[in-house]
């Protein structure tokens, strides 16, 4: 018996078992805390998605356009994307959940607007505590917050709808109060080619895709992978392309350039007559190839609308516009267009506002590789919007486009030694550009 009492065999094993009890508890508690961390990460993902999607919806409402999805507000969209990330409150009467909280847990989702240009999302999950009960915790609430901010860029005065905005040669761009944007998703949605480019005096340059450059550091100025910019004039296309001969009461004007409006016959024109055309005033419709060349002078307050192939019924292309040589052009868009200045099809409350400020509309057809070319040594002063949704607009040579010309086209190329001067453009524009970013 004395030997048994003096024996130390198994004492280490006994001590190990005693020590393992709290060790296993700590490990188990650590595993429970690890599950809290995973829930926290999932909650943050849900909050980020909710805030960002709510911000995108808010941006659409701040800069309303026909291209916006207005079916639901930013609160609904935020809750919708939180739900897609497995966070939703079934008790919320304003939203029907698709996902369900894990058994034994409750979730809460709140979307609000702390400022006029931001959306905040808060998501949380309350779940039972297990080993954490030793710490006097019966439940644990895990939450996450995210805030998305709508950042408004200087409104672009140049918008490429499909193709890149390309800068070539020794182009100089001056657009201090407005920017240039491309909705191209290509790797070169903003494309700089040439050593003599100068875009230091241009506003924000953004593309939905990437930026490419052959030399220099111009891409450092570009905002890449930006959200698309909504085409503010898309509502014009079906209305103007639906025009037919019967919509014009006066027939074709072949020898004189006659505006559609009060006191004038309703007509469409095959093209510019020879010689100077000054003091023009009104809305002019063209069916032929309009060429402004030589040293003629063109001036006035106008809207030029080139009619499409369906009007001509030729299945090919519509009227075209080419400017070259050394003409002197000083034309300004009509600040407003009345119902008496256009055919009845265009005299509607939804179309007339789109015509205000419109200088040139060129429908061109896709797949024809057509372009509006402004080239040579022409000195051109355009004030208004040049809109060519299906054509590339090319400025080349020593062209000077001054005062303020806004351009919306399928693609836009500034090449040669062109000096694209939009320094006279105001900060406001029909074209609105903004992006959304998470700031918290």
pLDDT in tens, 379-389: 667 788 889 99
Residue-range definition of the domain harbouring residue 229: 156-438
For position 246, what pLDDT does the model report?
82
Q: Flag whether the pTM goes above 0.75.
A: no
Contacts of 36 by beta carbon, 8 Å cutoff, 6+ apart: 140, 142
* Residue 5: inside a domain: no
- What gap in Å lies between CA 429 and CA 14, rounded to an integer? 82
Q: Which of 152, 179, 214 is the last residue of a domain?
A: 152
Match 């201090």 to its residue by tokens.
176
Q: For a pLDDT cut of 70, what percent of the chain falls above it?
A: 77
Q: Which of 152, 185, 205 is the last residue of a domain?
A: 152
* Residue 346: inside a domain: yes
- What gap in Å lies between CA 263 and CA 284, rounded to an integer? 14
- What gap in Å lies between CA 321 and CA 288, rounded to an integer? 9
**CA distances from residue 369 to 142, 287, 372, 399, 416 in whole angstroms, order as listed:** 58, 19, 10, 22, 20
Q: Are 125 and 150 in contact (CB under 8 A)?
A: no
Contacts of 62 by beta carbon, 8 Å cutoff, 6+ apart: 117, 150, 152, 434
For position 66, what pLDDT does the model report?
47
Question: Could you say which DSSP state residue 40 is in?
Answer: H
Same domain, 423 and 276: yes
Q: State the average pLDDT over residues 133-156.
A: 78
10: region left, alpha or beta (phi > 0 left; psi from -120 to 50 alpha): left
**CA distances from residue 304 to 227, 259, 285 in whole angstroms, order as listed:** 31, 10, 6
Residue 412 has pLDDT above 80, yes or no: yes
Same domain, 410 and 297: yes
* Residue 2: inside a domain: no
């Amino acid at each position: 018996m004395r030997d048994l009492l003096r024996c130390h065999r198994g004492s280490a094993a006994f001590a190990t078992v005693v020590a393992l009890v709290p060790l296993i508890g700590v490990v188990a508690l650590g595993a429970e805390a690890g599950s809290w961390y995973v829930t926290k990460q999932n909650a943050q993902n849900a909050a980020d998605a909710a805030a960002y999607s709510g911000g995108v919806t808010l941006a659409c409402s701040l800069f309303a356009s026909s291209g916006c999805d207005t079916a639901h507000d930013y609160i609904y969209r935020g809750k919708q994307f939180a739900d897609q990330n497995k966070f939703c409150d079934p008790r919320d009467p304003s939203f029907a959940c698709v996902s369900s909280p894990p058994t034994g847990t409750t979730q809460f989702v709140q979307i609000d607007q702390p400022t006029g240009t931001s959306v905040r999302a808060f998501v949380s999950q309350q779940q039972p505590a297990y080993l954490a009960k030793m710490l006097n915790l019966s439940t644990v609430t895990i939450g996450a917050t995210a805030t998305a901010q709508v950042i408004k860029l200087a409104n672009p005065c140049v918008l490429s709808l499909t193709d890149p905005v390309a800068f070539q040669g020794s182009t100089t761009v001056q657009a201090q109060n407005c920017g240039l944007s491309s909705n191209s998703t290509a790797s070169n949605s903003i494309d700089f080619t040439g050593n003599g480019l100068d875009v230091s005096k241009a506003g924000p340059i953004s593309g939905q895709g990437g930026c490419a450059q052959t030399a220099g550091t111009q891409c450092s100025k570009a905002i890449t992978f930006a959200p698309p910019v909504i085409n503010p004039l898309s509502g014009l296309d079906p209305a103007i392309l639906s025009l037919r001969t019967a919509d014009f009461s006066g027939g074709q004007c072949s020898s004189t350039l006659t505006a559609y409006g009060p006191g004038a016959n309703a007509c469409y024109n095959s093209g510019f007559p020879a010689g100077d055309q000054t003091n023009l005033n009104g809305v002019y419709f063209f069916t032929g190839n309009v060429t402004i060349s030589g040293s003629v002078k063109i001036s006035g307050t106008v809207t030029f609308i080139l009619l499409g192939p369906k009007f001509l019924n030729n299945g090919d292309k519509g009227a075209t516009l080419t400017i070259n040589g050394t003409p002197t052009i000083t034309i300004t868009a009509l600040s407003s267009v009345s119902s008496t200045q256009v055919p009845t099809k265009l005299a509607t409350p939804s179309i007339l506002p789109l015509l205000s400020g419109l200088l040139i509309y060129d429908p061109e057809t896709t797949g024809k590789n057509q372009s509006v070319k402004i080239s040579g040594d022409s000195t051109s002063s355009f004030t208004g919007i040049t809109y060519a949704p299906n054509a590339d607009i090319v400025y080349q040579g020593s062209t000077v486009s001054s005062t303020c010309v806004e351009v919306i086209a399928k693609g836009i190329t500034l090449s040669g030694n062109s000096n694209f001067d939009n320094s006279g453009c105001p900060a406001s524009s029909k074209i609105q550009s903004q992006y959304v970013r998470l700031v918290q």
